[in-house]
Amino acid sequence: MTTSTPATRPETPRLERDESGIAILTLEGRDGHPFILDLDAVSALEAIVESLEDREDIRGLVIRGAGTDVFCAGADVDAIAEMSDPDEIMETSARGQELFSAIEELPFPVVALIHGACMGGGLELALAAHARLVSDATATRLALPEVRLGILPAWGGTTRLPEVIGLKAALPYLLTGRTMYPSRARSLGLALECPPKELLMTRGRQRLEAMIEARHHGHHGGPASREPGIVDYLVDEIPPATRAYLALAERQVKKETRGLYPAPLALLDVLRRGRNKSRETRFRLEREALARLLPGSVSKHLVSIFRRSRPKDRGGLYAKKFAGVRSIRRVGVVGAGVMGRGIAQLLIEKGLEVRLVDPFSEALVRASRSLRSAVEKAVRRRRGGRVEVRATLDRLMLGTDYSGLAAADLIIEAVPEIPSLKEKVFESLTEVLGEHALIASNTSSLSVAALAAHTDRPGRVAGLHFFNPAPKMPLVEVVRHDGADELTLATLVQFAQSIGKTPVLCSDAPAFVVNRLLAPYLLEAVSLLADGAEITTVDAAARGFGLPMGPFALMDTVGLDVVLHVCRHLESVPDVGVSTPDLIVAMADKGLLGKKAGMGFYRYGKRRPRPHTRKELIAFDPTLDESHFAARLGRQALLDRLLTVLAKEGERVLDENIVESRDDLDLATIYGMGFPPWTGGLATWMRENHWESESS
Ligand code: NAD
């Protein structure tokens, strides 16, 4: 028999006690939603924990999730977004710290049973338990992602994670917000064990009984779950080693973030100043750091990007639930080249069935090999095993003709960017596809309307522009041509979301959004070069702003042939104002195509890439003169020229309604070209730097 103690809100969270005196706290979300630590949930937990403090009929507590695949989704980001008063921030932080400390100080052992997502505040809660068991399911993942919102875990997590797994192991998780998978949680000592989900409660109770028994013998801490190595011991226990390790981490953080993101540095500062201090002091340091970070512009931008990326906050087709939206289970990917392979990998990893078609069997053999090794690598990274690799690869079928595509819900065409070839493929597909199948082209630049005209279903055709590498790049441009029906677009938007991408709807304009912005930006870099600037200085200026790589390194990565192709395409479009520089043409002609050719603006080899000298560049293109105008410009002036071009093009993209909103431009630039998140995205950066679009 179980008895139930109602919380302040009966539906969240729920406390029961069984006849053996074990209490079970279930983190139940409201109305079937995942459990989040909003103010109501915190109040309810406070009431429950207070009620437990004097219960002599309880011997131990189990905390578990209720949702199928969520333990706790973390704090309420909407509430975080509203906070800017430092006193209020410190008060909220203190409240969480006190609640979790009260759990830690309960007069009986507490075990957290984690299955599914355990994020942020949820992990901080679990860290306050005396032991944790983590299910071995692939859905189970733990993280303290606060730095990604420009803040730090300040409900005790910054203090407790290093206590539980050691400073050395904790730092990467604290500083990057990266995900910890079950077997890693076990090997680092965060979890006592990783049983299958079905055995979590049984094993949890056994562990709890053992802890209750240990308490009878005077042992009050949690059971030991790790054996620190010698380096862990030194970093944790020997002050000079701790200081040296934190200093090393600080140098690394400064190098990686270029000082643009204050949260990881603030976190290191909390750890440094809190070393060997009381819990009270360390918690105070956490609170003070949070109160400094949260009102800052970087955190405001990162929190805002997080919220604006959520389908529910984006409105329109991103959030709308169309009654007729078909779920996409079977996808035909046509073309097994760079993009087709990447898209196929992404889809099978997301559980979809894929038929990859290419008329050239060598292309299929290459694709199959590279897919196998990519899937093995990805599964290994998640610490999954052979069964998962096999199950993933079993979802892939290969074919040299279109005959197996009749049952597909969606076709993604990824054949070379040659209009007549794509048109032929579209015509052939029409003959074999089922009546309701959708066709999407991965074209980077061609008119989707023109391709749609080569099918029997123009309304059910759209662009689905993935970026390279498809499994990694978060953006997908969903291209809407005039004849596309809303249901098709809604289906593709939802499909992109379901495979973990951020879709941005855009019109069927030349080069869509990201390439349209990138082309003039890259060409401005070439014109800086022509004006006398150095390749490395221009690249360094862009990286110093927070872009992942400079424009020359980017051109080498994308391939100069691809850059040339996009430029040529945009050249023919009035208003865009792109004029292909002779240098790019000359380099492409000479086979200096970038990384894939071992040579582009840089030479690639075993050592660090080395830029071509000015003399060498003049040899490629004698029209380059020796003027040294831009050579005298400092990094800031070079950056200003690059950003000015980007902002001007951004303004045009908004004026021409190529995207639906400034938010979409922000998301497209952050997720598609790595525009630095600390800025809030290109549109936000333009507004804050007084680049006002006339249409806004
Ligand atoms: P790719 O040359 O690497 O691969 C194209 C594949 O299509 C080849 O394997 C070829 O054998 C196959 N193919 C040729 N004719 C075919 C047919 N009739 N039916 C089926 N397959 C056929 O090209 P890619 O780089 O993967 O580009 C594919 C598309 O994706 C292009 O439209 C390109 O513009 C776009 N795209 C490319 C990138 C990129 O960085 N490579 C990025 C975004 C979009």
CB-defined site of ligand 1, < 6 Å: 334-340, 357-360, 363, 414-417, 421, 425, 442-444, 467-468
* Distance (Å) from CA 365 to ligand 1 centroid: 15
Number of domains present in the structure of the chain: 3
322: domain CATH number? 3.40.50.720
490 plus 551 within the same structural domain:
no
194 plus 342 within the same structural domain:
no
pLDDT band with cut points at 50, 70 and 90 for residue 7: very low
* Distance (Å) from CA 566 to ligand 1 centroid: 15
614: domain CATH number? 1.10.1040.50
Give 590-615 as a DSSP string. Answer: TT--BGGGTBSSEE-SSSS-EEPPHH
242 plus 331 within the same structural domain:
no
Q: State in Å, rounded, how far the first CA of the chain is from the last one.
A: 63
The yes-or-no answer on residue 515 being catalytic is: yes
Residue 327 belongs to what domain range?
316-507
pLDDT band with cut points at 50, 70 and 90 for residue 6: very low
* Distance (Å) from CA 339 to ligand 1 centroid: 6
* Distance (Å) from CA 444 to ligand 1 centroid: 10
| Residue positions counted in the chain | 696
Sheet hosting strand 60-65, strand order edge to edge? 3-5, 14-17, 22-27, 60-65, 110-114, 131-134
480 plus 527 within the same structural domain:
no
Q: Please state the rounded mean pLDDT for residues 153-159.
A: 98
pLDDT at 312: 87
Catalytic residue among 225, 299, 507, 515: 515
pLDDT band with cut points at 50, 70 and 90 for residue 233: confident
Query: In this structure, which amino acid lies at residue 544?
Result: G
Mark residue 170 as left, alpha or beta (left: phi above 0; alpha: psi -120 to 50; beta: remaining): alpha
Q: Which atom of ligand 1 is nearest to the CA of 424?
A: 18
pLDDT at 59: 96
The verdict on residue 396 lying in a domain is yes
Mark residue 307 as left, alpha or beta (left: phi above 0; alpha: psi -120 to 50; beta: remaining): alpha
The residues near 102 (Cβ < 8 Å, ≥ 6 apart) are: 46, 49, 50, 53
371 plus 388 within the same structural domain:
yes
Backbone angles phi, psi at 497, to 5 degrees: -65, -40
pLDDT digits (tens, 9 = 90+) for 664-691: 999 999 999 999 999 999 999 999 997 7
**Of 2-16, 134-148, 363-377, which range is least confident?**
2-16
Instruction: Report the Cα 334 to chain-centroid distance in Å.
Output: 27
pLDDT band with cut points at 50, 70 and 90 for residue 625: confident
The verdict on residue 214 lying in a domain is yes
The verdict on residue 681 lying in a domain is yes
198: domain CATH number? 3.90.226.10
The verdict on residue 309 lying in a domain is no
pLDDT band with cut points at 50, 70 and 90 for residue 260: very high
494 plus 519 within the same structural domain:
no
501 plus 542 within the same structural domain:
no
322 plus 339 within the same structural domain:
yes
The residues near 140 (Cβ < 8 Å, ≥ 6 apart) are: 114, 115, 116, 117, 118, 134, 181, 182
Angle at Cα 545 formed by Cα 528 and Cα 479, nearest 5°? 85
Catalytic residue among 465, 481, 569, 612: 465
Catalytic residue among 135, 442, 444, 507: 444
Question: Rounded to an integer, what distance in angstroms lies between the CA atom of residue 576 and that of residue 653?
Answer: 10
pLDDT at 11: 53
Tokens of residue 24, six digits: 């079970």
Three-class secondary structure assignment of 549-561:
CCHHHHHHHHCHH
pLDDT band with cut points at 50, 70 and 90 for residue 117: very high
pLDDT band with cut points at 50, 70 and 90 for residue 326: confident
417 plus 489 within the same structural domain:
yes
The yes-or-no answer on residue 444 being catalytic is: yes
**Which residue's C-alpha comes closest to atom 3 of ligand 1?**
337
Tokens of residue 546, six digits: 């927070």
The verdict on residue 695 lying in a domain is no
* Distance (Å) from CA 526 to ligand 1 centroid: 27
pLDDT digits (tens, 9 = 90+) for 266-287: 999 999 999 989 999 999 999 9
pLDDT band with cut points at 50, 70 and 90 for residue 215: confident
**Which helix (H) or strand (E) segment is 379 a member of?**
helix 361-381
64 plus 123 within the same structural domain:
yes
Q: Which atom of ligand 1 is nearest to the CA of 428?
A: 18
Out of 341, 364, 403, 415, give the residue to mutate to test ligand 1, the one with the largest number of ligand atoms within 8 Å of its CB.
Answer: 415
**Which residue's C-alpha comes closest to atom 39 of ligand 1?**
468
pLDDT band with cut points at 50, 70 and 90 for residue 112: very high
**Which residue's C-alpha comes closest to atom 32 of ligand 1?**
443
Backbone angles phi, psi at 466, to 5 degrees: -85, 155
Mean pLDDT score of the chain, rounded to an integer?
A: 93
Question: Rounded to an integer, what distance in angstroms lies between the CA atom of residue 550 and that of residue 537?
Answer: 9
Q: Which atom of ligand 1 is nearest to the CA of 342?
A: 26
Out of 333, 338, 479, give the residue to mutate to test ligand 1, the one with the largest number of ligand atoms within 8 Å of its CB.
Answer: 338
252 plus 384 within the same structural domain:
no
The verdict on residue 310 lying in a domain is no
The yes-or-no answer on residue 627 being catalytic is: no
> Which one-letter DSSP state was computed for residue 37?
B
Task: Please tell me the number of Cα atoms within 13 Å of 265 on its side-chain side.
Answer: 14
- Nearest one of 436, 432, 430, 461 to 447, comparing CA atoms: 461
Query: Are 7 and 44 within 8 A, CB to CB?
Result: yes
The domain boundary, picked from 301, 328, 350, lies at: 301
Give the position of tokens 């995900």: 179
219 pLDDT more than 80: no
* Distance (Å) from CA 328 to ligand 1 centroid: 22
Long-range interactions of 309-318: CB distance < 8 A, separation 24+: 309/502, 309/667, 311/497, 314/663, 316/505, 316/660, 317/486, 317/489, 317/490, 317/493, 317/505, 318/493, 318/497, 318/503, 318/505
Q: Please state the rounded mean pLDDT for residues 450-467.
A: 97
The domain boundary, picked from 477, 507, 537, lies at: 507
487 plus 525 within the same structural domain:
no
630 pLDDT more than 90: no
The verdict on residue 611 lying in a domain is yes
- Nearest one of 127, 42, 28, 41 to 70, comparing CA atoms: 28
Tokens of residue 221, six digits: 């801490």
The domain boundary, picked from 460, 480, 507, lies at: 507
